[in-house]
Amino acid sequence: MELKVKVININSDKAHELLRKCGILREYSQFIDTVRKYSGEEDSIKKAINDCIQQGILADYLKRKGSEVTNMLIAEYSYEEDIQVK
């Protein structure tokens, strides 16, 4: 069996056509840019979430799920643990 996967860089600085066509992916890319902008600062994720809500970037989602997003971004990912949970 052979699997071919096309990987698309959705960083906003790459301006991929997909970002123009899909608003949610574009906003997600902007959110990640904002998280990177605040990296190294205290409460960086919280600042990024608040900044994005004010700018209307994923605002509804971040208002409802902001704490889950924070936990996901600060949690250390472990493939083995992920497999055990599934």
Using one digit for the tens of pLDDT, what is the confidence trace for 6-52?
998 888 887 889 888 999 999 999 999 999 898 888 888 899 999 99
The pLDDT of residue 84: 73
Q: What is the DSSP letter of 82?
A: H
Residue-wise pLDDT for 44-74, tens only, equals 889 999 999 999 999 999 999 998 998 888 7
pLDDT for the residue 63: 96
